[in-house]
């Protein structure tokens, strides 16, 4: 507060008109404009992501070791969600889940820095007299949001967000206009000519607000009002790129070693780029060059520098991706993991889903699906092991079985909990319908694990009774299990690829399982009558067949779940009814 009144005193000496209250009001309006700007960016980004959700999921599904593809992916995703920090946090989540290597992650992080320049270009439009036109989109979008059609609502929200961006910029610009006429205050700002100090100020301010978009917008408005020179803004922009790393660093807390390394790579990339450009801004007359390119368009000059810096930095650092990874690995060495696992999962840990990815619901939905598919694979392994045990007449690899069953129970708790968080996000109606079915799919898979537990108990009973099934009974069980395996394969294909043909195939094999259950029951009665089986073995056999048939039912339910959020062909009903 003392600093505020000192500033007021300085103002009073040069121009007695503005009072302390006037300064306070303008500062409050500056914050109000910044809030509207950030809220507009968020609304626009969230709804752009919802509209482009399927394509964004496709981008991450096709991630490879190609560095240029990674840069394009990072650029495209950040352009859509309007936040390089959110993209980088997602990448940290992917690395933490083991879905992405550091070599794959680094180019995406670089691309995110390019994608974030779109915000500066949007803000620069305020300097060419189109603010009122774009700001009016907030009203147009608000009326569109009243539509009953989901797509119109989303497009309306995008227009509203874009309009709010320009409303925020206009409010910030108006709040700074009074400073422009105060020579003493302007001199105070312009007296800060130390580039390194400006870089530090830019980094600290961006770290404080945790948004390079917000920092760049304020720097751009100050330059447009003549409070800061273009060169000063250049130095501050370099610092903003460093300060934005704080979000990824915070996101990596508590994550895996590789996830922490991803945030280190982000920091190394931005710090190195800033240090490379620091002497360039000092000794190369970039401000003069930019003014020659865009005479008088200060905001456009700032946006162009932001773009030149991030593209140049990416082109310079892209060939050294492996060097950045090597440095990160030596800064943070891998701790030795004593867990020796031959499984695809780490017990009681999620592999694909991560709270860091919730900032992008379109991606989080896809990752949830992957976690469910892994859960199905774990349940299938236990099912297979349980059948092998009962045919052998004793439990086999019971430690592995129990570890998998424990993990299935863990997933049965954690995935629905994650889905609840995902449901609270702003997602499309189709995505809402999709994740609503995931609850039931998880329950069906967990039930498969429970029936596998029952079958293991039957194996224990056979061992206790020192008996086993006859060869003919074993052959029939194997045949039934083969059909169940077919139900599983086609159900997973249907769920994963939204494949209707696989639903039909799963239905046919499920019908075969039902027929085989009746046949096995009848044949078993005949064996009892012929004294080929005793009463204890017979009871176990009948329970086994019943459990196998129920497992088949639950597997088919996984396939049928997609009918709740897709347009189902009539031919599917001919099979499942």
**pLDDT tens column, 262-278:** 888 989 999 999 999 98
247-261, 281-295, 361-375, 466-480: segment of lowest average pLDDT: 247-261
Give one DSSP letter per residue of 120-140, joined into a string.
HHHHHGGGGT-HHHHHTHHHH
Res 383: pLDDT: 93
What is the pLDDT averaged over residues 82-86? 74
Q: How confident is the model at residue 517 (pLDDT cuts 50, 70, 90)?
A: confident
Tokens of 282: 């000092």
84-98, 189-203, 408-422: segment of lowest average pLDDT: 84-98
Res 543: pLDDT: 87
Q: State residue 530 phi and psi, 5-degree precision.
A: -90, 5
Give the residue from 282, 312, 330 where a domain finishes.
330
Res 413: pLDDT: 92
Tokens of 372: 């469910």
Instruction: For residues 383 and 490, state if they share a domain.
Output: yes
Instruction: For residues 36 and 131, state if they share a domain.
Output: yes
- Candidates 189, 271, 177, 272; CA nearest to 231 is 189
The per-residue pLDDT of the chain, averaged, comes to 81
Tokens of 483: 């059909």
- Listed in sequence order, the residues at least 6 apart from 525 whose beta carbon sits closer than 8 Å to its beta carbon are none
Instruction: For residues 393 and 274, state if they share a domain.
Output: no
- Candidates 515, 536, 526, 513; CA nearest to 473 is 526
298-302, 495-499, 570-574: segment of lowest average pLDDT: 570-574
Q: How many domains is the chain partitioned into structurally?
A: 2
- Candidates 421, 423, 452; CA nearest to 437 is 423
Instruction: For residues 153 and 255, state if they share a domain.
Output: yes
How far is the C-alpha of 255 from the C-alpha of 261, rounded, in Å? 10
Owning domain of residue 166: 19-330
In percent, the amount of the chain with pLDDT more than 90 equals 18
Give one DSSP letter per residue of 347-390, joined into a string.
TT--SS--GGGGGSHHHHHHHHHHHHHHHHHHHHHHHHHHHHHH
Give the residue from 288, 312, 330 where a domain finishes.
330
Is 345 contained in some domain? no
Instruction: For residues 258 and 367, state if they share a domain.
Output: no
Is 344 contained in some domain? no
Instruction: For residues 83 and 230, state if they share a domain.
Output: yes
For position 452, which CATH number holds? 1.20.58.220
Instruction: For residues 398 and 438, state if they share a domain.
Output: yes
Instruction: For residues 311 and 403, state if they share a domain.
Output: no
């Amino acid at each position: 507060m003392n600093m505020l009144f000192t500033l007021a005193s300085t103002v009073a000496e040069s121009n007695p008109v503005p009072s302390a209250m006037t300064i306070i009001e303008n500062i409050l309006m500056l914050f109000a404009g910044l809030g509207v700007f950030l809220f507009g960016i968020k609304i626009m980004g969230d709804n752009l992501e919802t509209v482009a959700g399927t394509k964004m999921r496709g981008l991450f599904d096709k991630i490879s070791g190609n560095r240029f593809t990674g840069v394009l992916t990072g650029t495209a995703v950040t352009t859509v969600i309007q936040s390089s920090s959110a993209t980088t946090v997602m990448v940290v989540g992917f690395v933490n889940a083991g879905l992405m290597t550091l070599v794959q992650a680094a180019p995406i992080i670089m691309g995110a820095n390019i994608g974030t320049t779109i915000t500066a270009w949007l803000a620069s439009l305020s300097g060419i007299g189109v603010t009122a036109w774009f700001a009016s989109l907030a009203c147009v979008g608000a009326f569109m949001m009243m539509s009953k059609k989901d797509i119109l609502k989303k497009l309306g929200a995008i227009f509203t967000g874009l309009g709010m961006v320009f409303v925020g910029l206009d409010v910030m610009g108006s709040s700074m206009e009074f400073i422009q006429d105060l020579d003493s205050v302007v001199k105070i700002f312009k007296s800060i000519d130390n580039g390194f100090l400006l870089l530090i100020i830019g980094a600290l301010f961006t770290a404080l607000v945790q948004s390079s978009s917000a920092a760049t917008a304020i720097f751009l408005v100050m330059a447009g009002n003549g409070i800061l020179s273009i060169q000063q803004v250049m130095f501050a922009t370099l610092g903003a790129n460093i300060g934005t790393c704080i979000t990824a660093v915070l996101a990596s807390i508590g994550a895996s070693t590789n996830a922490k390394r991803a945030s280190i790579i982000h920091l190394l990339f931005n710090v190195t780029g800033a240090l490379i450009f620091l002497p360039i801004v000092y000794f190369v007359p970039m401000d003069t060059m930019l003014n020659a390119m865009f005479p008088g368009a200060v905001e456009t000059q700032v946006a162009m520098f932001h773009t030149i810096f991030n593209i140049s930095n990416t082109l310079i650092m892209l060939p050294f991706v492996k060097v950045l990874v090597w440095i990160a690995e030596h800064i943070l060495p891998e701790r030795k993991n004593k867990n020796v696992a031959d499984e695809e999962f780490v017990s009681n840990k999620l592999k694909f889903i991560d709270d860091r990815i919730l900032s992008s619901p379109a991606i989080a939905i896809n990752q949830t699906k992957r976690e469910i598919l892994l859960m199905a694979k774990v349940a299938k392994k236990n099912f297979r092991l349980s059948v092998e045990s009962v045919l052998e007449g004793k439990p086999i690899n019971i430690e592995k079985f129990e570890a998998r069953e424990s993990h299935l129970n863990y997933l049965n708790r954690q995935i629905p909990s994650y889905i609840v968080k995902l449901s609270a996000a702003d997602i499309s109606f189709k995505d809402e319908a999709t994740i609503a079915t995931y609850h039931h799919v998880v329950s069906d898979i967990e039930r498969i694990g429970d029936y596998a537990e029952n079958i293991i108990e039957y194996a224990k009973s056979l061992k206790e009774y020192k008996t086993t099934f006859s060869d003919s009974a074993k052959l029939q069980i194997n045949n039934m299990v083969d059909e169940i395996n077919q139900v599983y394969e086609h159900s997973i294909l249907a769920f994963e690829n939204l494949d209707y043909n696989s639903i039909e195939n799963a239905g046919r094999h499920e019908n075969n399982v039902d027929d085989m259950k009746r046949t096995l029951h009848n044949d078993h009665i005949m064996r009892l009558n012929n004294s080929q089986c005793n009463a204890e073995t017979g009871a176990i056999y009948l329970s086994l067949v019943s459990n196998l048939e129920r497992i088949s039912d639950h597997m088919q339910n996984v396939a049928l779940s997609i009918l709740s959020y897709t347009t189902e062909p009539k031919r599917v009903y001919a099979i499942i009814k």
